Structure 1
Amino acid sequence: MEKRYTMARLSVNLNKVALLRNSRHTGSPNVVEFGRIALEAGAKGLTVHPRPDERHIRRTDVHDLAALLAPLRPAIEFNIEGRPTADFLDLVAEIRPEQVTLVPDAPQAFTSDSGWNLSAEGETLKPVVQRLKQQGARVILFMDPDAAQTPAVPATGADGFEIYTGAYAEAVRLHGLDSEAGQAALQAVVGAAQVGQRLGLMVNIGHDLDLLNTPPLIAGAPFIHEASIGHELTGDALRYGFAEAVRRYGAALAV
Protein backbone atom coordinates (compact mmCIF):
# COMPACT_ATOMS: atom_id res chain seq x y z
CA MET A 1 0.00 0.00 0.00
CA GLU A 2 1.29 3.45 -0.91
CA LYS A 3 2.34 5.44 2.14
CA ARG A 4 0.39 8.64 2.71
CA TYR A 5 1.95 11.68 4.33
CA THR A 6 0.46 14.49 6.36
CA MET A 7 0.26 17.70 4.33
CA ALA A 8 3.22 20.04 4.74
CA ARG A 9 2.52 22.84 7.18
CA LEU A 10 2.64 26.47 6.07
CA SER A 11 4.51 28.77 8.44
CA VAL A 12 4.11 32.37 7.30
CA ASN A 13 7.28 34.42 7.61
CA LEU A 14 6.40 37.98 8.64
CA ASN A 15 9.78 39.59 8.00
CA LYS A 16 8.69 41.51 4.91
CA VAL A 17 5.60 42.87 6.62
CA ALA A 18 7.92 44.20 9.31
CA LEU A 19 10.31 45.59 6.70
CA LEU A 20 7.50 47.63 5.16
CA ARG A 21 6.41 48.79 8.61
CA ASN A 22 9.93 49.95 9.40
CA SER A 23 9.99 52.27 6.36
CA ARG A 24 7.73 54.68 8.30
CA HIS A 25 7.17 55.60 11.94
CA THR A 26 3.41 55.02 11.93
CA GLY A 27 3.42 51.38 13.01
CA SER A 28 1.64 50.38 9.81
CA PRO A 29 1.36 47.68 8.61
CA ASN A 30 0.95 46.10 12.04
CA VAL A 31 2.89 42.84 12.23
CA VAL A 32 0.60 41.27 14.82
CA GLU A 33 -2.48 42.13 12.75
CA PHE A 34 -1.01 40.37 9.72
CA GLY A 35 0.02 37.44 11.86
CA ARG A 36 -3.62 37.15 12.92
CA ILE A 37 -4.80 37.37 9.30
CA ALA A 38 -2.37 34.60 8.33
CA LEU A 39 -3.66 32.32 11.08
CA GLU A 40 -7.29 33.00 10.27
CA ALA A 41 -6.51 32.13 6.62
CA GLY A 42 -5.15 28.73 7.60
CA ALA A 43 -1.44 29.14 8.37
CA LYS A 44 -0.21 26.49 10.79
CA GLY A 45 2.53 28.64 12.24
CA LEU A 46 4.38 31.95 12.15
CA THR A 47 8.07 32.47 11.45
CA VAL A 48 10.29 35.42 12.34
CA HIS A 49 13.98 36.10 11.91
CA PRO A 50 15.03 38.83 14.36
CA ARG A 51 18.34 40.10 13.05
CA PRO A 52 20.73 42.09 15.27
CA ASP A 53 20.10 45.32 13.33
CA GLU A 54 16.30 44.84 13.53
CA ARG A 55 16.02 45.70 9.86
CA HIS A 56 12.63 44.00 9.84
CA ILE A 57 11.47 41.96 12.84
CA ARG A 58 12.19 43.65 16.17
CA ARG A 59 12.53 42.01 19.57
CA THR A 60 9.27 43.65 20.57
CA ASP A 61 7.56 41.96 17.60
CA VAL A 62 8.74 38.57 18.83
CA HIS A 63 7.14 39.17 22.23
CA ASP A 64 3.95 40.56 20.67
CA LEU A 65 3.58 37.60 18.32
CA ALA A 66 4.23 35.19 21.18
CA ALA A 67 1.29 36.80 22.98
CA LEU A 68 -0.87 36.39 19.87
CA LEU A 69 0.05 32.72 19.60
CA ALA A 70 -0.13 31.91 23.32
CA PRO A 71 -3.70 30.50 23.30
CA LEU A 72 -3.04 28.53 20.09
CA ARG A 73 0.26 26.86 20.90
CA PRO A 74 1.49 24.18 20.54
CA ALA A 75 -0.92 23.21 17.74
CA ILE A 76 0.00 26.45 15.97
CA GLU A 77 3.75 26.81 16.19
CA PHE A 78 6.13 29.71 16.61
CA ASN A 79 9.37 29.32 14.65
CA ILE A 80 12.22 31.71 15.45
CA GLU A 81 15.17 31.79 13.08
CA GLY A 82 18.59 33.25 13.65
CA ARG A 83 22.29 32.87 14.18
CA PRO A 84 22.90 31.52 17.68
CA THR A 85 24.46 34.63 19.22
CA ALA A 86 24.13 35.27 22.94
CA ASP A 87 21.40 37.87 22.36
CA PHE A 88 19.46 35.51 20.10
CA LEU A 89 19.67 32.64 22.55
CA ASP A 90 18.55 34.88 25.40
CA LEU A 91 15.51 35.96 23.37
CA VAL A 92 14.63 32.38 22.53
CA ALA A 93 14.93 31.43 26.21
CA GLU A 94 12.38 34.13 27.04
CA ILE A 95 9.88 33.06 24.35
CA ARG A 96 10.31 29.26 24.40
CA PRO A 97 9.11 28.68 20.81
CA GLU A 98 8.14 25.27 19.52
CA GLN A 99 10.85 25.46 16.85
CA VAL A 100 14.19 27.22 16.53
CA THR A 101 15.86 27.30 13.12
CA LEU A 102 19.57 28.02 13.37
CA VAL A 103 21.16 29.84 10.44
CA PRO A 104 24.85 30.62 9.86
CA ASP A 105 24.31 34.20 8.65
CA ALA A 106 26.85 36.85 9.50
CA PRO A 107 25.25 40.01 10.98
CA GLN A 108 25.71 41.92 7.72
CA ALA A 109 24.27 39.17 5.52
CA PHE A 110 21.73 40.42 2.98
CA THR A 111 19.60 37.33 3.43
CA SER A 112 19.98 33.67 4.44
CA ASP A 113 21.54 32.23 1.31
CA SER A 114 23.75 29.40 2.51
CA GLY A 115 23.58 26.59 5.02
CA TRP A 116 25.82 25.31 7.79
CA ASN A 117 29.12 23.63 6.99
CA LEU A 118 28.84 20.88 9.57
CA SER A 119 32.31 19.48 8.97
CA ALA A 120 33.66 22.82 10.26
CA GLU A 121 30.88 23.97 12.60
CA GLY A 122 29.10 20.85 13.77
CA GLU A 123 30.99 20.54 17.05
CA THR A 124 30.33 24.19 17.87
CA LEU A 125 26.61 23.67 17.32
CA LYS A 126 26.27 20.68 19.65
CA PRO A 127 26.05 22.59 22.96
CA VAL A 128 23.73 25.17 21.39
CA VAL A 129 21.41 22.45 20.15
CA GLN A 130 21.44 20.75 23.54
CA ARG A 131 20.62 24.02 25.33
CA LEU A 132 17.68 24.73 23.03
CA LYS A 133 16.31 21.20 23.33
CA GLN A 134 16.49 21.43 27.11
CA GLN A 135 14.22 24.47 26.79
CA GLY A 136 11.68 22.36 24.89
CA ALA A 137 12.40 23.55 21.36
CA ARG A 138 12.63 21.45 18.24
CA VAL A 139 15.96 22.42 16.68
CA ILE A 140 16.30 22.74 12.91
CA LEU A 141 19.52 23.52 11.02
CA PHE A 142 19.48 25.62 7.86
CA MET A 143 21.29 23.53 5.24
CA ASP A 144 22.21 23.69 1.57
CA PRO A 145 20.51 21.15 -0.74
CA ASP A 146 23.50 18.83 -0.46
CA ALA A 147 22.79 15.18 0.23
CA ALA A 148 26.44 14.69 1.20
CA GLN A 149 26.07 17.11 4.15
CA THR A 150 22.77 15.73 5.42
CA PRO A 151 24.20 12.65 7.24
CA ALA A 152 26.15 15.01 9.53
CA VAL A 153 22.97 16.53 10.99
CA PRO A 154 22.16 13.80 13.56
CA ALA A 155 25.58 14.13 15.23
CA THR A 156 24.73 17.71 16.23
CA GLY A 157 21.64 16.52 18.10
CA ALA A 158 19.32 18.58 15.88
CA ASP A 159 15.85 17.26 15.18
CA GLY A 160 16.00 18.08 11.49
CA PHE A 161 16.97 20.63 8.89
CA GLU A 162 15.52 23.24 6.60
CA ILE A 163 16.71 22.99 3.02
CA TYR A 164 17.70 26.28 1.43
CA THR A 165 15.57 26.43 -1.73
CA GLY A 166 16.83 29.74 -3.12
CA ALA A 167 19.12 28.16 -5.73
CA TYR A 168 16.27 25.93 -6.88
CA ALA A 169 13.92 28.92 -7.17
CA GLU A 170 16.50 30.88 -9.15
CA ALA A 171 17.10 28.00 -11.55
CA VAL A 172 13.37 27.68 -12.20
CA ARG A 173 12.97 31.43 -12.62
CA LEU A 174 15.87 31.77 -15.06
CA HIS A 175 15.59 28.52 -17.02
CA GLY A 176 12.20 26.96 -16.30
CA LEU A 177 11.32 23.87 -14.30
CA ASP A 178 11.65 21.52 -17.26
CA SER A 179 15.12 22.74 -18.18
CA GLU A 180 18.24 20.77 -17.31
CA ALA A 181 19.18 23.36 -14.72
CA GLY A 182 15.69 23.41 -13.25
CA GLN A 183 15.50 19.64 -12.95
CA ALA A 184 19.00 19.40 -11.49
CA ALA A 185 18.13 21.98 -8.83
CA LEU A 186 14.87 20.20 -8.04
CA GLN A 187 16.62 16.86 -7.66
CA ALA A 188 19.26 18.39 -5.39
CA VAL A 189 16.55 19.49 -2.94
CA VAL A 190 14.60 16.24 -3.23
CA GLY A 191 17.76 14.16 -2.84
CA ALA A 192 18.79 15.96 0.36
CA ALA A 193 15.23 15.63 1.66
CA GLN A 194 15.15 11.89 0.97
CA VAL A 195 18.40 11.33 2.86
CA GLY A 196 16.94 13.26 5.78
CA GLN A 197 13.81 11.15 5.75
CA ARG A 198 15.83 7.93 5.76
CA LEU A 199 17.74 9.22 8.79
CA GLY A 200 14.50 9.94 10.63
CA LEU A 201 14.98 13.71 10.54
CA MET A 202 12.30 16.35 10.18
CA VAL A 203 12.70 18.03 6.80
CA ASN A 204 11.57 21.63 6.19
CA ILE A 205 12.03 23.87 3.16
CA GLY A 206 12.33 27.60 2.75
CA HIS A 207 13.57 30.57 0.71
CA ASP A 208 12.02 32.10 -2.42
CA LEU A 209 9.26 29.50 -2.60
CA ASP A 210 6.30 30.63 -4.68
CA LEU A 211 3.06 29.29 -6.10
CA LEU A 212 4.79 27.73 -9.13
CA ASN A 213 7.95 26.21 -7.70
CA THR A 214 6.49 24.85 -4.46
CA PRO A 215 4.19 22.07 -5.80
CA PRO A 216 6.98 20.20 -7.66
CA LEU A 217 9.02 20.08 -4.45
CA ILE A 218 6.11 18.68 -2.48
CA ALA A 219 5.37 16.16 -5.21
CA GLY A 220 8.98 15.00 -5.14
CA ALA A 221 9.22 14.91 -1.35
CA PRO A 222 5.67 14.49 0.03
CA PHE A 223 7.04 13.93 3.54
CA ILE A 224 8.15 17.58 3.89
CA HIS A 225 6.99 18.73 7.31
CA GLU A 226 6.94 22.51 6.90
CA ALA A 227 7.52 25.31 4.42
CA SER A 228 8.45 28.72 5.77
CA ILE A 229 7.35 31.27 3.19
CA GLY A 230 7.42 35.05 3.41
CA HIS A 231 8.93 37.10 0.60
CA GLU A 232 7.01 35.66 -2.35
CA LEU A 233 3.84 35.29 -0.31
CA THR A 234 4.01 38.96 0.63
CA GLY A 235 4.56 39.88 -3.01
CA ASP A 236 1.57 37.81 -4.07
CA ALA A 237 -0.47 39.48 -1.35
CA LEU A 238 -0.23 42.68 -3.42
CA ARG A 239 -2.12 40.81 -6.15
CA TYR A 240 -4.56 38.73 -4.15
CA GLY A 241 -4.74 40.25 -0.69
CA PHE A 242 -2.87 38.81 2.28
CA ALA A 243 -5.49 36.29 3.41
CA GLU A 244 -6.04 34.96 -0.12
CA ALA A 245 -2.29 34.68 -0.66
CA VAL A 246 -2.01 32.57 2.50
CA ARG A 247 -4.83 30.34 1.30
CA ARG A 248 -3.18 29.89 -2.10
CA TYR A 249 0.13 28.95 -0.56
CA GLY A 250 -1.63 26.49 1.73
CA ALA A 251 -3.19 24.92 -1.37
CA ALA A 252 0.22 24.80 -3.10
CA LEU A 253 1.47 22.63 -0.23
CA ALA A 254 -1.47 20.26 -0.55
CA VAL A 255 -0.58 18.73 -3.93
Structure 2
Amino acid sequence: MKVVYIAHPIAGDVAGNLIRIQEIGRNINLSEINVVPFANYYFDCFCLDDNDPIERYRGIKNDTALLKKGFIDEMRLYGDRISNGMANEIELALKLGIKVRPMTKETADEFDSRWQGAQRHYEDEPFGKGWRNDLMRLKKVDLVHVMREFLMDDGHKPLQVLMKDIASWSDATFGEGQRNTGILHHLKKEVNELIEAVERFQNVSIKLIGYKGSEEACKAAFMEYADCFMLLLDSAYHFGLDAKTLIAFTKQKLEINKARKWGKPDANGVVEHIKEG
Protein backbone atom coordinates (compact mmCIF):
# COMPACT_ATOMS: atom_id res chain seq x y z
CA MET A 1 0.00 0.00 0.00
CA LYS A 2 1.10 3.56 -0.72
CA VAL A 3 1.85 5.79 2.28
CA VAL A 4 0.83 9.41 1.68
CA TYR A 5 2.03 12.27 3.87
CA ILE A 6 -0.70 14.86 4.43
CA ALA A 7 0.81 18.36 4.40
CA HIS A 8 -1.60 21.01 5.69
CA PRO A 9 -1.32 24.40 7.44
CA ILE A 10 -1.72 24.32 11.22
CA ALA A 11 -1.10 27.84 12.52
CA GLY A 12 -3.90 30.38 12.55
CA ASP A 13 -7.11 28.40 12.87
CA VAL A 14 -5.50 25.46 14.68
CA ALA A 15 -8.75 23.80 15.76
CA GLY A 16 -10.32 24.23 12.33
CA ASN A 17 -7.22 22.95 10.54
CA LEU A 18 -7.10 19.86 12.72
CA ILE A 19 -10.71 19.11 11.83
CA ARG A 20 -9.89 19.55 8.13
CA ILE A 21 -6.94 17.16 8.42
CA GLN A 22 -9.22 14.65 10.13
CA GLU A 23 -11.72 14.96 7.26
CA ILE A 24 -8.96 14.51 4.68
CA GLY A 25 -7.73 11.38 6.42
CA ARG A 26 -11.24 9.98 6.60
CA ASN A 27 -11.93 10.69 2.92
CA ILE A 28 -8.71 8.96 1.88
CA ASN A 29 -9.46 5.94 4.06
CA LEU A 30 -12.96 5.60 2.62
CA SER A 31 -12.19 6.31 -1.04
CA GLU A 32 -8.63 5.07 -1.68
CA ILE A 33 -8.34 1.50 -0.48
CA ASN A 34 -4.63 1.19 -1.30
CA VAL A 35 -3.51 4.45 0.30
CA VAL A 36 -2.48 4.97 3.94
CA PRO A 37 -2.85 8.62 5.03
CA PHE A 38 -0.05 9.74 7.34
CA ALA A 39 0.03 12.93 9.43
CA ASN A 40 2.19 12.39 12.50
CA TYR A 41 2.12 16.10 13.35
CA TYR A 42 -1.62 15.72 14.01
CA PHE A 43 -0.67 13.67 17.09
CA ASP A 44 2.08 16.14 18.01
CA CYS A 45 -0.46 18.97 18.04
CA PHE A 46 -2.10 17.32 21.05
CA CYS A 47 1.24 16.65 22.78
CA LEU A 48 3.20 19.80 22.04
CA ASP A 49 2.54 23.54 22.13
CA ASP A 50 2.98 24.98 18.64
CA ASN A 51 3.39 28.46 20.14
CA ASP A 52 6.42 27.37 22.21
CA PRO A 53 9.56 27.58 20.01
CA ILE A 54 11.26 24.66 21.78
CA GLU A 55 8.23 22.39 21.51
CA ARG A 56 7.58 23.48 17.93
CA TYR A 57 11.17 22.59 17.04
CA ARG A 58 10.67 19.14 18.56
CA GLY A 59 7.61 18.62 16.34
CA ILE A 60 9.58 19.68 13.26
CA LYS A 61 12.37 17.31 14.27
CA ASN A 62 9.83 14.47 14.47
CA ASP A 63 8.54 15.26 10.97
CA THR A 64 12.03 15.42 9.51
CA ALA A 65 13.07 12.12 11.07
CA LEU A 66 10.02 10.29 9.76
CA LEU A 67 10.31 11.73 6.25
CA LYS A 68 13.92 10.57 6.14
CA LYS A 69 12.96 7.01 7.11
CA GLY A 70 12.07 6.32 3.48
CA PHE A 71 8.59 4.85 3.86
CA ILE A 72 6.69 7.90 2.57
CA ASP A 73 5.70 7.40 -1.08
CA GLU A 74 3.99 10.71 -1.74
CA MET A 75 3.41 14.11 -0.16
CA ARG A 76 0.04 15.75 -0.78
CA LEU A 77 -0.47 19.48 -0.28
CA TYR A 78 -3.82 20.61 1.12
CA GLY A 79 -5.25 23.89 2.33
CA ASP A 80 -5.62 27.43 1.03
CA ARG A 81 -1.88 28.18 1.14
CA ILE A 82 1.57 26.68 1.62
CA SER A 83 2.65 27.53 5.15
CA ASN A 84 6.27 27.92 6.25
CA GLY A 85 6.17 24.47 7.81
CA MET A 86 4.80 22.98 4.59
CA ALA A 87 7.51 24.75 2.60
CA ASN A 88 10.18 23.08 4.72
CA GLU A 89 8.47 19.72 4.22
CA ILE A 90 8.35 20.27 0.45
CA GLU A 91 12.04 21.16 0.29
CA LEU A 92 12.93 18.00 2.17
CA ALA A 93 10.58 15.84 0.09
CA LEU A 94 12.07 17.10 -3.18
CA LYS A 95 15.56 16.48 -1.84
CA LEU A 96 14.60 12.92 -0.84
CA GLY A 97 12.87 12.21 -4.15
CA ILE A 98 9.39 11.96 -2.61
CA LYS A 99 6.54 12.75 -5.00
CA VAL A 100 4.88 16.09 -4.25
CA ARG A 101 1.26 16.43 -5.31
CA PRO A 102 -0.78 19.62 -4.77
CA MET A 103 -4.42 18.84 -4.02
CA THR A 104 -5.93 22.34 -4.18
CA LYS A 105 -5.64 25.07 -6.77
CA GLU A 106 -4.04 27.39 -4.20
CA THR A 107 -1.27 24.95 -3.30
CA ALA A 108 -0.74 24.08 -6.98
CA ASP A 109 -0.35 27.72 -8.00
CA GLU A 110 2.04 28.47 -5.15
CA PHE A 111 4.02 25.27 -5.69
CA ASP A 112 4.52 26.08 -9.37
CA SER A 113 5.52 29.63 -8.51
CA ARG A 114 7.98 28.85 -5.73
CA TRP A 115 9.42 25.58 -6.99
CA GLN A 116 9.44 26.30 -10.69
CA GLY A 117 11.26 23.54 -12.52
CA ALA A 118 10.71 20.98 -9.77
CA GLN A 119 9.14 17.79 -11.05
CA ARG A 120 5.41 17.67 -10.43
CA HIS A 121 3.58 14.44 -9.76
CA TYR A 122 -0.11 14.79 -10.58
CA GLU A 123 -1.57 11.31 -10.96
CA ASP A 124 -5.06 12.58 -11.67
CA GLU A 125 -7.07 15.80 -11.52
CA PRO A 126 -7.94 16.30 -7.85
CA PHE A 127 -9.28 19.83 -8.21
CA GLY A 128 -10.62 20.15 -11.73
CA LYS A 129 -9.91 19.50 -15.37
CA GLY A 130 -6.69 20.50 -17.02
CA TRP A 131 -4.18 19.36 -14.41
CA ARG A 132 -2.28 16.33 -15.61
CA ASN A 133 1.06 14.66 -15.37
CA ASP A 134 3.43 15.30 -18.21
CA LEU A 135 3.03 12.04 -20.08
CA MET A 136 6.36 10.43 -20.77
CA ARG A 137 7.15 7.91 -23.47
CA LEU A 138 8.31 4.78 -21.69
CA LYS A 139 10.68 2.16 -23.02
CA LYS A 140 9.11 -0.79 -24.77
CA VAL A 141 9.31 -4.11 -22.97
CA ASP A 142 9.47 -7.68 -24.14
CA LEU A 143 5.75 -8.43 -24.44
CA VAL A 144 6.39 -12.12 -24.98
CA HIS A 145 8.11 -12.23 -21.59
CA VAL A 146 5.21 -10.36 -20.01
CA MET A 147 2.69 -12.79 -21.49
CA ARG A 148 4.69 -15.81 -20.34
CA GLU A 149 5.03 -14.41 -16.83
CA PHE A 150 1.30 -13.84 -16.45
CA LEU A 151 0.24 -17.11 -18.04
CA MET A 152 2.37 -19.00 -15.51
CA ASP A 153 0.91 -17.07 -12.57
CA ASP A 154 -1.89 -18.52 -10.42
CA GLY A 155 -3.11 -15.10 -9.30
CA HIS A 156 -5.96 -15.30 -11.82
CA LYS A 157 -7.83 -18.03 -9.96
CA PRO A 158 -10.01 -15.85 -7.68
CA LEU A 159 -10.98 -13.75 -10.71
CA GLN A 160 -11.85 -16.89 -12.68
CA VAL A 161 -14.13 -18.08 -9.89
CA LEU A 162 -15.81 -14.68 -9.80
CA MET A 163 -16.27 -14.62 -13.59
CA LYS A 164 -17.88 -18.05 -13.58
CA ASP A 165 -20.15 -17.14 -10.67
CA ILE A 166 -21.32 -13.96 -12.40
CA ALA A 167 -21.88 -15.72 -15.74
CA SER A 168 -23.77 -18.60 -14.11
CA TRP A 169 -26.09 -16.20 -12.32
CA SER A 170 -26.48 -14.11 -15.48
CA ASP A 171 -27.42 -17.12 -17.63
CA ALA A 172 -29.83 -18.46 -15.03
CA THR A 173 -31.51 -15.08 -14.66
CA PHE A 174 -31.52 -13.71 -18.21
CA GLY A 175 -31.15 -16.82 -20.39
CA GLU A 176 -28.24 -18.47 -22.17
CA GLY A 177 -28.74 -16.99 -25.65
CA GLN A 178 -26.41 -14.67 -27.55
CA ARG A 179 -26.66 -11.78 -25.09
CA ASN A 180 -23.13 -10.41 -25.28
CA THR A 181 -23.94 -7.21 -27.18
CA GLY A 182 -26.84 -6.64 -24.81
CA ILE A 183 -24.48 -7.01 -21.86
CA LEU A 184 -22.16 -4.41 -23.38
CA HIS A 185 -25.02 -1.97 -24.02
CA HIS A 186 -25.99 -2.44 -20.39
CA LEU A 187 -22.37 -1.71 -19.46
CA LYS A 188 -22.52 1.59 -21.38
CA LYS A 189 -25.57 2.56 -19.33
CA GLU A 190 -23.85 1.66 -16.07
CA VAL A 191 -20.70 3.60 -17.02
CA ASN A 192 -22.81 6.76 -17.33
CA GLU A 193 -24.24 6.07 -13.89
CA LEU A 194 -20.72 5.54 -12.55
CA ILE A 195 -19.60 8.89 -13.95
CA GLU A 196 -22.52 10.58 -12.20
CA ALA A 197 -21.74 8.79 -8.93
CA VAL A 198 -18.06 9.77 -9.02
CA GLU A 199 -18.95 13.38 -9.81
CA ARG A 200 -21.38 13.43 -6.88
CA PHE A 201 -18.67 12.09 -4.58
CA GLN A 202 -16.16 14.67 -5.78
CA ASN A 203 -18.65 17.48 -5.24
CA VAL A 204 -19.43 16.26 -1.74
CA SER A 205 -15.72 15.86 -0.89
CA ILE A 206 -14.79 19.30 -2.19
CA LYS A 207 -17.60 20.99 -0.27
CA LEU A 208 -16.78 18.94 2.86
CA ILE A 209 -20.42 19.02 3.92
CA GLY A 210 -19.90 16.30 6.50
CA TYR A 211 -18.83 12.73 6.99
CA LYS A 212 -22.23 11.17 6.36
CA GLY A 213 -22.77 12.75 2.96
CA SER A 214 -19.25 11.92 1.85
CA GLU A 215 -19.50 8.32 3.07
CA GLU A 216 -22.84 7.73 1.35
CA ALA A 217 -21.58 9.18 -1.93
CA CYS A 218 -18.45 7.03 -1.67
CA LYS A 219 -20.45 3.84 -1.11
CA ALA A 220 -22.74 4.70 -4.03
CA ALA A 221 -19.69 5.05 -6.30
CA PHE A 222 -18.32 1.72 -5.05
CA MET A 223 -21.57 0.00 -6.03
CA GLU A 224 -21.50 1.54 -9.50
CA TYR A 225 -17.91 0.35 -9.97
CA ALA A 226 -19.09 -3.12 -8.99
CA ASP A 227 -21.93 -3.01 -11.53
CA CYS A 228 -19.52 -2.08 -14.33
CA PHE A 229 -16.97 -4.68 -13.26
CA MET A 230 -19.55 -7.47 -13.18
CA LEU A 231 -20.89 -6.61 -16.62
CA LEU A 232 -17.39 -6.39 -18.09
CA LEU A 233 -16.47 -9.81 -16.67
CA ASP A 234 -19.80 -11.27 -17.79
CA SER A 235 -19.21 -10.08 -21.34
CA ALA A 236 -15.63 -11.36 -21.37
CA TYR A 237 -16.77 -14.77 -20.15
CA HIS A 238 -19.48 -15.01 -22.82
CA PHE A 239 -16.95 -13.93 -25.44
CA GLY A 240 -14.82 -16.92 -24.48
CA LEU A 241 -12.12 -15.20 -22.42
CA ASP A 242 -10.92 -16.78 -19.20
CA ALA A 243 -9.35 -14.81 -16.37
CA LYS A 244 -5.78 -15.82 -17.17
CA THR A 245 -6.05 -14.68 -20.78
CA LEU A 246 -7.85 -11.48 -19.81
CA ILE A 247 -5.11 -10.56 -17.32
CA ALA A 248 -2.36 -11.38 -19.80
CA PHE A 249 -3.83 -9.24 -22.56
CA THR A 250 -4.56 -6.43 -20.11
CA LYS A 251 -0.91 -6.41 -19.07
CA GLN A 252 0.17 -6.50 -22.70
CA LYS A 253 -2.09 -3.55 -23.58
CA LEU A 254 -0.81 -1.62 -20.56
CA GLU A 255 2.75 -1.91 -21.81
CA ILE A 256 1.65 -0.81 -25.28
CA ASN A 257 -0.03 2.25 -23.76
CA LYS A 258 3.07 3.07 -21.74
CA ALA A 259 5.06 3.26 -24.97
CA ARG A 260 2.59 5.56 -26.71
CA LYS A 261 2.52 9.34 -26.91
CA TRP A 262 -0.64 10.96 -25.63
CA GLY A 263 -2.47 14.12 -26.57
CA LYS A 264 -4.23 16.70 -24.46
CA PRO A 265 -7.53 16.16 -22.61
CA ASP A 266 -10.75 17.15 -24.34
CA ALA A 267 -13.64 18.97 -22.64
CA ASN A 268 -14.52 15.82 -20.68
CA GLY A 269 -10.93 15.09 -19.67
CA VAL A 270 -10.52 12.25 -22.17
CA VAL A 271 -6.96 11.77 -23.44
CA GLU A 272 -6.29 9.72 -26.58
CA HIS A 273 -2.99 8.49 -27.91
CA ILE A 274 -1.34 10.22 -30.84
CA LYS A 275 -1.46 8.03 -33.92
CA GLU A 276 1.86 7.82 -35.68
CA GLY A 277 2.26 7.95 -39.43
Q: Could you say which TM-score interval applies, normalised by the shorter chain? A: 0.3 to 0.5
Higher relative contact order (Cα pairs below 8 Å, separated by 6+ residues): 1
Higher fraction of helix: 2
- Larger Rg belongs to: 2
- TM-score under structure 1 normalisation? 0.35
- TM-score under structure 2 normalisation? 0.33
Higher fraction of strand: 1
